Amino acid sequence: MNTNISTAASKTYTIVRNPEGERGVKLSNGKVIPCDIAALCTGKDAWLAAIEVKCRDCNQLFPLRALQGNGQWCDECQSKSIEG
């Protein structure tokens, strides 16, 4: 489990992984929002979609709204995995 704690828009969160390796945003109240759902947030919760996380393959930072594969991979790495 990742224990890096960050803040965005005065909100405290941690990026966590479940046993299957999928990531989620754990809020300070203990609730976990899957990264693919957080990437869709708008309005007052738009800060969730702007959280920057690393692509699982290339380790470059991207905002959640730009990641593919349930918020796990950047466009380039996702394309490479599809091509085989």
pLDDT (0 to 100) of residue 8? 53
Strand-pair partners of 5: 14
Rg (CA), the chain: 12
**Would you say residue 76 has pLDDT above 50?**
yes
Distance CA 82, CA 25 (A): 26
Tell me which residue of 7, 4, 13, 5 sits closest to 35, measured CA to CA: 13
Quick one: pLDDT band at residue 84, thresholds 50, 70, 90? low
Buried b (16+ CB within 10 A) or exposed e, 28-46: eeeebbebbbbbebeeeee
Query: pLDDT by residue (tens digit) across 10-64?
Result: 678 999 998 988 899 999 999 999 999 999 999 999 999 999 999 999 999 999 9
Strand-pair partners of 26: 14, 32
Distance CA 79, CA 43 (A): 30
**Would you say residue 1 has pLDDT above 70?**
no
